[in-house]
Each structure stands twice: as structure tokens, then as C-alpha cells.
Amino acid sequence: MGRDGKPDPALTARNAGQQTMPTNVFLLAIAAGVISSVVFASATTGAVMLRVVLFLLTPLSLYLAGLGLGVIAGAIAAITATAAVMLIANPLTAEVYAISTAIPAVICTRFTLMSRGPEDEREWYPIGRVVVVAALFAGVFAMLALILMGGDTDTLTKMLRGAVEAFVKSELSQIPGAPAIGEAEIDQITRSTLSTLPWALGLLAMATTLLNLWLAGRITLASGRLVRPWPDLAQFKMPAGATLVLFAAIGLTFTGGMTGLLAAGVAAPFTLAFALVGLGLVHVLTRGSPWRTFILSALYIGAVLVPHIGLLLALVGLAETVFGYRAAGKPPEPPN
């Protein structure tokens, strides 16, 4: 109470901010965390394709909790999921889960829902910066995974060579008509795998984060619980600083050794981010074209099957970031 016997406005505001979360929201957040941990555990068994799908969708319930129920609910879901993974597996697995899945889900949903200004002139946090946050987490995950796998190139090479040898002896030998693979071929496969491993880790982590953020956004939008208006994703821009990060990371990849591998793990998600900018440019330029469906379908399929198309899109995205072709074109139509 104030000195005049009336409620203190500052104290009232502070107490209002400390109101407890509704029980149903709290329980839903706990359930979201449990679901994520169960999906994570299920991704270690079963058919290969099913395991891949489950792995990709492991964070979905966390993003749904964050976007649909609020950031605090998302944090509760993430903490619950991490604790459950620790009980199911071990502390190291829980740590990897927290860095690769739980923390990115909380931070990305937090930034996605950030805004400023009055209600009628609300300015939402730019999607491009959300993508940068996702790329940073993906890079950290790739580096952490490489360090946990060995920490140096010799250990990584030995580990990968053992995996290739095991596959050749146990799996490849069971396939009728499979070619004979000798020691020289195993060494070549090992070297190729070592050079592509950090790129694969970074791209997978980045794709998983963005896929789940997009899916959760669409689901919460359909349910009417998404507080942020759906953005025109084809128009998202990367900040200029992201270009410097990409160039620095790519430059360090040429140093070789463990430093080069770690840098590749960072370069991979930023390359994907700029490829998405390039893809957005194609979306904008083809609006209104009768060939749009054909062009986009061919581009998506080609980007999955031919890695060089993804690199070309990244170069287009870099050019768009520097020169702003979309801004120079005609006003875009509403997103579809």
C-alpha cells in the first residue's frame, strides 16, 4: 500500500507481472516437453526413414508451445524435455539435446514474437535476424558434434574409417552384385566423408530448426493462436553482418585441420540461409508468371538432388543482400 492508504501502482504492476501461469497452460507445456523427449528417444529405433522423420520433428512440440502458449511455456517445455532426456539416456545426451534442440527452440520463438511500438504501428523482429539466430545455433551444434566425435582430425578420421569398414563388411557384402571395395577405396571414402561431415551437420541442424519453426508457425496460425501476423517469407532479408560471418567462415575452411572443419560447420548454415534468400528472390520474380509452378517445382527438386543448385542460390542470395534486386522490382503481391 502507498502512504495514502491506496494501492501502490508500481507494486501493483510488479505483482501483475508475477501472476502465476494458468494450470492448463503449465500442463500443456509439460506435455509438450514430454512429447519432444519421447520423439527424440523413438528416433533411435525403427526403420531408417521413420527415424529420420522423427529426428526432424523432435523439436516441433517445443516450437508449438513457444509460439502458441508463450515464451515462458516454451521454456518450461524445453526444461521438461531436457530433464526427461537425461532420465531416458544420460547427462551428455541431455546436454547435446539442450544445445541442438531445446535452447534454439526457446530463443528462436522468443525472437519471433518480439515486437516494439504501439499496437497500430507494431514493428516485429525481422525474420532475417531470426534466421541468423538459427544459423548461429546450428553452427554451434556442428562444432560441438565434431568435438564430441573426436576433437582432432586424426581421431575423427579413425572413427569414420571404422564406420566405413563396418558398413562395407556388414551391409555392403550382403548386397548381390555390390562392387568390391579395398583399402584404397575405404581411405578415399573416409577422406570424402570427413570433408563433408561438418557441412552435413550444419545443414541438418539449420534445416531442422527452420522446418520446425515454420511448421509450428503454420499450425498456430491455423489455430488462431499466433500473435504475430504471418510475414511474406519471400521478402526476408539477411543483415549485412551475416555476409561477413559467411566470408570469414569460408575463409577459415581453407586453413585445413580441425579449424577448417569447425569453420565449415559454421559456414554451412549461413550458406543455407543465403540460399533461402536466393529462393525468395525467385519467388518474388516469378509472381504473376504462368510458368511459376513449373519453375519453382524444378528449382526445389533440383536443389535437393543437385548440391550445386543450392550453392548457386546462395550466390544469388548474397547478390540480393548487397544489391537489393527485390526492392528495385515491382511491388510484390500478397504471399500465397
Residue with cell 517445382: 297
The one-letter amino acid code at 138 reads A
Which domain covers residue 93, as residue numbers? 20-113
* Spatial distance between the Cα atoms of 80 and 78, rounded to a whole number of angstroms: 5
Packing angle between helix 183-223 and helix 48-56, nearest 10 degrees? Answer: 50
Residues 310 and 227 in one domain: yes
* Spatial distance between the Cα atoms of 333 and 336, rounded to a whole number of angstroms: 9
In a domain, 146, yes or no: yes
Residues 184 and 244 in one domain: yes
Beta bridge pairs of residue 115: 124
Instruction: Tell which of 113, 147, 162 closes a domain.
Output: 113
Residues 86 and 128 in one domain: no
Residues 138 and 256 in one domain: yes
Per-10-residue mean pLDDT for the chain, 336 residues long? 46 42 90 95 80 90 96 96 93 90 95 90 93 96 90 87 79 66 82 92 95 96 94 92 95 93 96 95 90 92 88 93 72 51
Q: What is the per-residue pLDDT for 51?
A: 84
Residues 194 and 56 in one domain: no
Residues 124 and 79 in one domain: no
Q: What is the per-residue pLDDT for 328?
A: 61
Are the C-beta atoms of 54 and 4 separated by less than 8 Å? no
Instruction: Tell which of 113, 141, 161 closes a domain.
Output: 113
Residues 38 and 185 in one domain: no
The one-letter amino acid code at 181 reads I
Residue with cell 536443389: 303
Are the C-beta atoms of 99 and 140 separated by less than 8 Å? yes
Are the C-beta atoms of 165 and 275 separated by less than 8 Å? no
Packing angle between helix 257-285 and helix 292-305, nearest 10 degrees? Answer: 170
The one-letter amino acid code at 331 reads P
Residues 102 and 127 in one domain: no
* Spatial distance between the Cα atoms of 269 and 104, rounded to a whole number of angstroms: 14
Contacts of 225 (CB under 8 A, 6+ apart): 67, 68, 69
Q: What is the DSSP string of 122-145?
A: -EEPPHHHHHHHHHHHHHHHHHHH
Instruction: Tell which of 90, 113, 136 closes a domain.
Output: 113
* Spatial distance between the Cα atoms of 55 and 39, rounded to a whole number of angstroms: 7
46: left (phi over 0), alpha (psi -120 to 50) or beta: left
* Spatial distance between the Cα atoms of 195 and 307, rounded to a whole number of angstroms: 15
70: left (phi over 0), alpha (psi -120 to 50) or beta: left
